[in-house]
Amino acid sequence: MTDFKEFHIAGHDLGISQITCTDSQHMLARKDELVQALHQLRTDKHYDLAALMLTDVLQEGSRLFFAGDEQTIQQAFNCKTENGSTFLPHVMSRKKQVIPALSALWG
């Protein structure tokens, strides 16, 4: 995965990758493959959460694919999830938006 970073927040280990694009449709067609890879990564690295942010600058938001507890994502971002995925409008930054939301939940 490209642009991958590991984090440790309040006893939780996680890894988040981010891909920025202007047309996310090609990547969305590979959703099942991406989620499967995240599950494998989570198992291999013993993460509590493995995620991929597919940030689409034209849609002004990120499709978050994840392997981990759905309630964590739902609570951190006040959103609904479906099959390891959710769209986060106006979320463009892992550092300034995703990590602080998880830190607030777990912190």
pTM above 0.85, yes or no: yes
The domain segmentation of the chain, as residue ranges, is 4-106
Name the one residue in this structure whose structure tokens are 């990547």.
27
What is the reported pLDDT for 107?
86
pLDDT grade for 35, boundaries at 50, 70 and 90: very high
**Under a CB-based contact definition with an 8 Å cutoff, are residues 39 and 33 in contact?**
no
Q: How far is CA 77 from CA 1, 46, 67, 93, in A?
A: 23, 23, 15, 13
pLDDT grade for 17, boundaries at 50, 70 and 90: very high
Architecture of domain 4-106: Roll (3.10)
Over residues 13-33, the mean pLDDT reads 92
| Residue 2 clears pLDDT 80, i.e. is over it | no
| Residue 1 clears pLDDT 80, i.e. is over it | no
Name the residue among 26, 23, 25 with its Cα closest to residue 57. 23
